[in-house]
Amino acid sequence: MAKKILAVTACPTGVAHTYMAAESLAKAAKEKQVEIKVETRGAVGVENEFTEKEIAEAHAIIVAADTDVLESRFEGKPVVKVPVAQAIKDPNGLIDRALDMKAADADDYLRQVEKTKANRSASRSGPYKHLMTGVSHMLPLVVAGGLLIAISFIWGIKAFEVEGTLPAALMAIGGGTGAFGLMVPILAGFIAFSIAEKPGLAPGLVGGMMAAHTGAGFLGGILAGFLAGYSALWLKKAIKLPRNLEGLKPILLIPLLATAFTGLMMVYVIGEPVKAIMDGLTDWLKSIGSANAVLLGLLLGAMMAFDMGGPVNKAAYTFAVGLTASQVYGPMAAVMAAGMTPPLGLWLATLIARKKFTQEEKDAGKSAAVLGISFITEGAIPFAASDPFRVIPSIMAGSAVTGALSMLFGATLKAPHGGIFVLAIPNAVTNLGLYALAIAIGTVVTALMISILKKTVN
């Protein structure tokens, strides 16, 4: 009987990595003549979701994800668990590992389904994963809010101050009373949800709201999310009730106690110190001189290119996004410019150094250009995977230059995603000409370094 494999892919943003990983696994499985079904958990929701019967019949499961994918569904089955980028870089190796695993008995699995439903948080671990689950749920609010705020500036940078006008309405929807006001609560809520599932959601949302109102910002939201999640998880395990009263735990006891604990900690212990840190960081970023600005842009730019959508990239992006809630927009401009540069530089390199790329890579360069202008850094991954020691230093250099120049030029960006398409919105970017120049210079630096470092293809 042929072995069937299931795979689930998910990245924090739910855009590029999720679907690139799914495509790579499907392509590798087809070449190996292995039956596979890939479930994607992206920005548009869950697609190709597994049934319990499919999970039961699968030989093994590949989990290529950086966010929560309800792994407890697979308890009792052999699981190959890796970061989502690994599925893009080495799909053949993952499929071989899955095929080599000892199969679990389907009946044993089905007998465990009901038991695992009662404790789905058992297989979840890792602070990074919980953080990225919160970030992935926060990002749609950030993008929608940022774009609406940017659109409100079409009528003038202060047009929203006139009550009753369309710019004022757009600012209200996208700003602190709308999408941006929900950023920190959603971040905290879904960090807690990832840790403790449904019982953690209420205390996480409340803790995040307290962080927003006390001025603790996104740092306070992150702390509130972890505090709420782990306190709810502890209560979930510690409270023992008769079976007929178990239903009170997730509905009444855990939300009540965890919410009270998290809220009190935010008011009396965490809120003020973290607010002081956020205020200090904000004041420093608003007052930094050109030398410090260049160094910050250099660091953020290099981080954006280092792993092209991985943990380091997401750390830089999350930092910049969090600062937009404090009206600090310079790092956001540097981060987006530096994230666009790697795919654009590789596309340019395929044009000016054609002898150093295969025909397949030249074709991929065209796709990389489209991904680059769309601020999807993952377009550089196929090139980096095939020649990491030459490509990664090159794209890091180009992105570092772009980030440094963006900060030096004093560019700011109020729309946290969208690439070249948001640059056309009036007043969304300050110093637009110099900002575009920073991206162009970084692109050229990347292309030249790759052209020098890469060897000619025979």
* Residue 103: pLDDT band with limits 50, 70, 90: low
Q: Which two tokens stand for residue 336?
A: 């987006």
Beta-sheet pairing, 35-42 with 45-47: antiparallel
Residue 329 has what pLDDT?
86
Residue range 240-252: mean pLDDT, rounded: 79
Residue 108 has what pLDDT?
47
71/314 Cα distance (integer angstroms): 22
pLDDT tens string 144-175: 887 788 788 778 767 888 888 998 998 899 88
Contact 43, 74 (CB under 8 A): no
Residue range 270-276: mean pLDDT, rounded: 89
Q: Which two tokens stand for residue 363?
A: 């074709």
Residue 364 has what pLDDT?
82
Phi first, then psi: give them for residue 82, nearest 5 degrees: -145, 160
Residue 102 has what pLDDT?
67
Largest CA distance in the chain: 73
pLDDT tens string 348-405: 999 998 888 888 888 888 888 888 888 888 788 878 877 888 899 999 999 999 999 9
Residue 107 has what pLDDT?
44
Residue whose entry in the numeric block shows the structure tokens 């403790």 = 196
Q: Which two tokens stand for residue 454?
A: 């890469």
Asked if residue 105 has pLDDT above 90, the reply is no
* Residue 263: pLDDT band with limits 50, 70, 90: very high
Q: Which two tokens stand for residue 3?
A: 């072995």
> What value does the CA radius of gyration of the chain take, rounded to a whole number of Å?
24
Residue range 37-41: mean pLDDT, rounded: 91
Q: Within a 10 A sphere around the Cβ of 276, how many other Cβ atoms?
A: 12
Indicate the range of 38-47, 403-412, 438-447 predicted with least confidence: 38-47
Residue 123 has what pLDDT?
39
263/272 Cα distance (integer angstroms): 13
Phi first, then psi: give them for residue 8, nearest 5 degrees: -125, 135
Indicate the range of 21-30, 41-50, 57-66, 333-342 predicted with least confidence: 41-50
pLDDT tens string 165-216: 998 998 899 887 888 889 889 999 999 998 988 889 999 999 999 998 888 8
Which of helix, strand or coil describes residue 75? Answer: coil
* Residue 15: pLDDT band with limits 50, 70, 90: low
Residue 262 has what pLDDT?
95
Residue whose entry in the numeric block shows the structure tokens 């929203």 = 160
pLDDT higher for 219 or 16?
Answer: 219
Contact 183, 155 (CB under 8 A): no
* Residue 113: pLDDT band with limits 50, 70, 90: very low
Half-sphere exposure of 127 toward its Cβ, with a 13 Å CA cutoff?
7
Residue 208 has what pLDDT?
93
Q: Which amino acid is at 197?
A: E
- The answer regarding whether domain 4-123 maps to CATH 3.40.630.30 reads no
Residue range 55-72: mean pLDDT, rounded: 85
pLDDT higher for 160 or 122?
Answer: 160
| Domain range annotation of the chain | 4-123, 127-280, 288-453
pLDDT higher for 219 or 109?
Answer: 219
Residue 230 annotated to the active site: no
Q: Which two tokens stand for residue 341?
A: 């540069």
177/172 Cα distance (integer angstroms): 6
Catalytic residue (choose from 7, 8, 11, 15):
11
Asked if residue 111 has pLDDT above 60, the reply is no
331/443 Cα distance (integer angstroms): 19
Beta-sheet pairing, 79-82 with 35-42: unpaired
From residue 400, give the alpha-carbon distance in Å to each of 90, 336, 436.
28, 12, 15
From the number of C-beta atoms within 10 Å of its C-beta (0-12, 13-18, 19+), residue 242 rates as exposed
Quote the DSSP letter at residue 3. Answer: -
Which of helix, strand or coil describes residue 35? Answer: strand
Q: Which amino acid is at 60?
A: A
Contact 391, 450 (CB under 8 A): yes
- Name which of 100, 78, 80 is nearest 32 in CA terms: 100
Chain-wide mean pLDDT for the chain?
Answer: 84
Residue range 22-39: mean pLDDT, rounded: 91
Phi first, then psi: give them for residue 58, nearest 5 degrees: -70, 145
What's the pTM value of the predicted model, to 2 decimals?
Answer: 0.68
CA 342 to chain centre: 18
Q: Within a 10 A sphere around the Cβ of 125, how many other Cβ atoms?
A: 10
* Residue 124: pLDDT band with limits 50, 70, 90: very low
Concatenating the DSSP letter of every residue in 269-323 gives IIHHHHHHHHHHHHHHHHH--HHHHHHHHHHHHHHHHHSSSSHHHHHHHHHHHHH
Residue 188, strand partner residues:
none
431/412 Cα distance (integer angstroms): 8
From residue 196, give the alpha-carbon distance in Å to each of 87, 204, 208, 259, 280.
27, 10, 16, 13, 32
pLDDT tens string 282-326: 787 777 777 788 999 999 999 999 888 777 888 888 888 878 777
pLDDT tens string 247-262: 778 888 889 999 999 9
Q: Which two tokens stand for residue 11?
A: 């990245």
Q: Which two tokens stand for residue 446?
A: 């990347």
Asked if residue 104 has pLDDT above 60, the reply is no
CA angle at 56 for the pair 124 and 201, rounded to the nearest 5°: 30
